[in-house]
Amino acid sequence: MKPKSKILIIAGSDSSGGAGIQADIKTVTALGGYAMTAITAITAQNTKGVFGVTPLSPKDIEKQILVTCADMKPDVVKIGMLHSSQVILSVLKVIKKIKRKIILDPVMIAKGGSKLINKSAIKTLKKKLLKESFLITPNIPEAEVLTGVEIKNTKDMIKAAKFLIKIGAKNVLVKGGHSKSNLLEDVFLNNKEFKIFKNKKIKTKNTHGTGCTLSSAIATFLSCGKPLKRSCELGIKYVNQAIRSNLNYGKGHGPINHLNSIKVKQKFL
């Protein structure tokens, strides 16, 4: 089967395969797209935590993007972990030349709690990259860092989303996966549209890589011609199915099953 679109993924590598570049590639492939990559950092991690992060230089990251895009133009760009201000500015400089829609997943903290980005990089992301992105997909802790809003409920999520729009975001999806409620709510917002996606919480510890997976799924649906709000809806459905499969690999926060939805791919697309 010929892929329907090409997605350029700029993110860190996860040696356990549950998140990062590995999760992105699996997601894009499972949903019928063609994944290209620019690795920003190499992490040594498993389901129990992150044991090492080796960042790549801005020049090395930039070269990956330029060489790849000079040969194969992506339809959409998905950005994950960018570990420093220098990397963010370097990536932004190159991405502006490509002129493609950017789905930004502002990865800051690993599932086990390890920090993956420094304070200076957070400020640069907020001031520079956020405004250039078509969609930003923070989870609750990330939205709190970016906005200063303490999020305890859906009302707070909406407040944080509105703040992100106010400071320059075009479209925002605040993910409710960290909520303690049995009903998960994801808040989608822009200057014209507002939607709360509601789903029953699936009780499992195996949710490693859900954020990476969701943003890549949205990027793939969007690249295939789906409207953004519909792409978010379908991406959430894909992730929920992948969680429900409950692989139970590893002794900590295990990965989700990216291949679970291949058989229903045509239903989505």
Which among 40, 175, 224, 254 is annotated as catalytic?
A: 175
Which among 69, 212, 224, 232 is annotated as catalytic?
A: 212
Which among 211, 224, 232, 254 is annotated as catalytic?
A: 211
Which among 47, 124, 207, 213 is annotated as catalytic?
A: 207
Three-state SS for 203? Answer: coil
Active site residue 210: yes
For residue 202, the one-letter residue type is: I
Active site residue 212: yes
Tokens read off for 132? 């250039």
Which among 210, 220, 226, 235 is annotated as catalytic?
A: 210
22 to each of 14, 15, 173, how far by Cα in Å? 6, 8, 22
Active site residue 112: no
Active site residue 175: yes
HSE value, Cβ hemisphere, 13 Å, CA-based, for 233: 11
| Backbone torsion region of residue 250, taken as left when φ is above 0, otherwise alpha when ψ lies between -120 and 50, otherwise beta | left
- Chain-centroid distance of CA 10 in Å reads 10
37 to each of 83, 170, 228, 245, how far by Cα in Å? 16, 24, 22, 27
Active site residue 207: yes
CA angle 111, 219, 41 (to 5 degrees): 45
Active site residue 166: no
Which among 18, 209, 235, 254 is annotated as catalytic?
A: 209
- The residues annotated with a catalytic role in the active site are 175, 207, 209-212
